Amino acid sequence: MNQALFKGSEISLGVVFGIQKLWDLVSCSRLFTLHIPSNNRIIMTLAHYSEKIGKFRERGGRPFQKPWIVFLVVATSELLDAMNLSVVATTLSQIQEKYNTTYPIASWALSSYALCFAGFIMIMGRIGDIIGHHIIFIGGLFALSLFLLIAAAVENLYVVIVFRALQGICAAATIPSSYAIIAHTYSGNALKMALAALTGIMTVASGIGFVIGGAFYESSVGYRGSFYLFFALCILSSVLSFFCVRHTPTSPAKVSKLDHLGVLIMLSGALLLVTGLTEGGARWNSPKAYVLVVIGVVLLILFLVWELYLYKKFSWSKNLDLLIPPAMWDLPNFIPLIIILGINYGSMFTQTLASLQIFQYVSLHSPIVSAVQTLPGPITMTILTFLVGFLFGKIPPKYCIFFGSSISLTGAVLFSRMNYTMDSYWRYGFPAYILMSSGTVFVFINTLNTLILSCPLDMQGLLSGVAITSGEFFVAAASAGVSSIVGNTQFGDSLEAKEALMKRYQKVFYLAIALSGTAFLVDFFVKNVPISSPQKQSMDEEELKENVESASDVVSSKNLEIPQRSTEAEGLAVEVALPQ
């Protein structure tokens, strides 16, 4: 299975770069210079038609290139990406049953998507900055629709897992590009509200995915129905995006000069860590578990050391375009905010996944009823997203993040008191969902939007990619951690089985408490700094430049007047000195 995942990642890289080259040929002749031999009629003909297609896209897309339509398309893609992750969580028991396998193996249908989603977001954000986010966004949507259709049609678990991994890579292509496209479409307060809404939609979508998964679980088509639904929505969004998403500026860097070694170290470390955590659910005393975890952690630490220090030590790597540019490390609060965002999002997913599985495996509720029990979370997020988005910038983000981390930690503590009875759900679970969701909204919106608004436009895609990578990496690790703690889960048909399962799930909630507590402690390292949009920063710089130039002109003109006055004074002196 691991070989299959490696192979899937390799194939997906080819798909991504193939899409880039295809787009380069078909519709982006404005942005890329095609060196065409004059004696090759076929290439000249293709270039002629590609130019026509590009002009058709520009003309045909004008009615659709309104900001609200762009936001609608981008928000739909974010909704699909997040729902595609959580929808499988509700149907894991069905996948386990259908393919007659263990829970740790079935959980790879969830972990493979989350892992590749997390592993490739930074890479796609960096490539988007270089070749254009519109290319990555539209190409990612088209490829995602194809892989959704294939995953829905096949009947082999390992093939499903591979194509789930490919879906994660395609989703990774759309997330950072979404934030970059919005940053180039809006400005000022409209940009703050759009970013807050986009972030809120991504958070709320997870809860909607649970409900959709539960609904299809009860149908005859099963988990595959959700893939068919997402395929239809995705292909529609990709067609609309072709017309409404405008060209985005590119950075002077080159894909060929990307830090491929750093990318390899980061991906290898993430894959080995999540694989080891997943294997630990069955046998922690096996080298397949603890050796992989140790090597994965070492590789991730090595990646950070390489990005910060080691690359300078070699002549061949000094001029590479790093996955995380040095300028990004200098952004205000970059390191603590990235850590807080990732840990908090991972804690939220841990609590939601564990509680959902309690409802299904211990309380023996149907998947749709179990999903409905989680609805207080997304409903709270939906309501608070607009309020927190409106307040963003009016209250210092540091205090909002403190408040969010505190109530998120309180929610995790309440979840640890919940058992499998409905009375316990209303006493502990219901308020825990509200507190956890409220805390997640406060933390997620204030950390992500603060980072994006403090970043220059040419690094928007990469920064959003790094931020979402942090969150999705902890989601992948949380999914594997739940599998590791709970082990090979079976339905609790007897009282003894229920009690045994609840002891395992309480340990999962202790993990969530540890994560939320760590995020709260990191809050103390966040500094209060003023935030402003990248457009405002550029306007301020241009205004300062104009003031300097105008001041220089004034000084120059005065310098010119001085010699003239001196000459007049000398002439007057000469006249006075002449004899009458």
Q: What is the CATH number of the domain that holds 341?
A: 1.20.1250.20
Question: Does residue 535 lie in a domain region?
Answer: no
In a domain, residue 56? The reply is: no
Q: Say whether both 380 and 499 belong to one domain.
A: yes
Same domain for 241 and 333? Answer: no
For residue 259, give the 3-state DSSP assignment: coil
| Residue from 264, 265, 268, 263 nearest 2 by CA | 268
287 and 225 within one domain: no
Check residue 64 and give its pLDDT.
Answer: 64
- The residue from 320, 340, 362 where one domain ends is 320
Measured CA to CA in angstroms, residue 69 lies from 172, 485, 514 at distances of 22, 44, 42
Looking at residue 220, what DSSP letter applies?
A: S
Q: What is the pLDDT of residues 245-274, one digit of tens each?
A: 777 766 666 666 777 888 888 888 877 877
Do both 214 and 79 map to the same domain?
yes
Contact 4, 154 (CB under 8 A): no
Residues 217 and 295 in one domain: no
Number of domains in the chain: 3
In a domain, 536, yes or no: no
Evaluate whether residue 189 is within a structural domain: yes
Contacts of 131 (CB under 8 A, 6+ apart): 20, 24, 31, 250, 255
**400 and 507 together in one domain:** yes
Distance of alpha carbon 32 from alpha carbon 103, whole angstroms: 48
Residue 551 lies in a domain: no
Q: How many CA atoms lie within 13 A of 397 on its CB side?
A: 32
User: Does 552 reside within a domain?
Assistant: no
Which residues make Cβ contacts (< 8 Å) with residue 14, sequence separation at least 6? none
Residue numbers of the domain that contains 305: 259-320
Looking at the structure, do residues 112 and 232 belong to the same domain, yes or no?
A: yes
- Quick one: 497 and 380 in the same domain? yes
* Two tokens, residue 473: 């990496």
Examine the fold and report which residue of 514, 530, 546 is the final residue of a domain before the chain moves on: 530
Q: Are residues 497 and 457 in the same domain?
A: yes
- Identify the domain boundary among 248, 280, 304: 248
**In a shared domain, residues 359 and 271:** no
The dihedral formed by the CA atoms of 567, 573, 574 and 578, expressed in degrees to the nearest 10: 170
Q: Has residue 452 been placed in a domain? A: yes
pTM strictly above 0.75: no
538, part of any domain: no
Q: What local confidence, expressed as pLDDT, does residue 41 receive?
A: 60
Note the pLDDT of residue 514.
92
pLDDT tens digits, one per residue of 196-223: 777 777 767 777 888 888 888 888 888 8
**What one-character DSSP code corresponds to residue 258?**
B
CA distance 28 to 130: 14
pLDDT computed for residue 512 by the predictor: 92
Q: Are residues 314 and 243 in the same domain?
A: no
373 plus 484 within the same structural domain: yes
Stretches where the chain sits below pLDDT 50 are: 1-39, 43, 533-542, 544, 548, 554-555, 560, 562, 564-580
Q: Taking the mean position of all CA atoms in its chain, how far away is CA 152?
A: 24
Residues composing the chain:
580
Q: Please give the single-letter amino acid code of residue 230.
A: F
Helices (H), 281-333: 287-308, 326-329
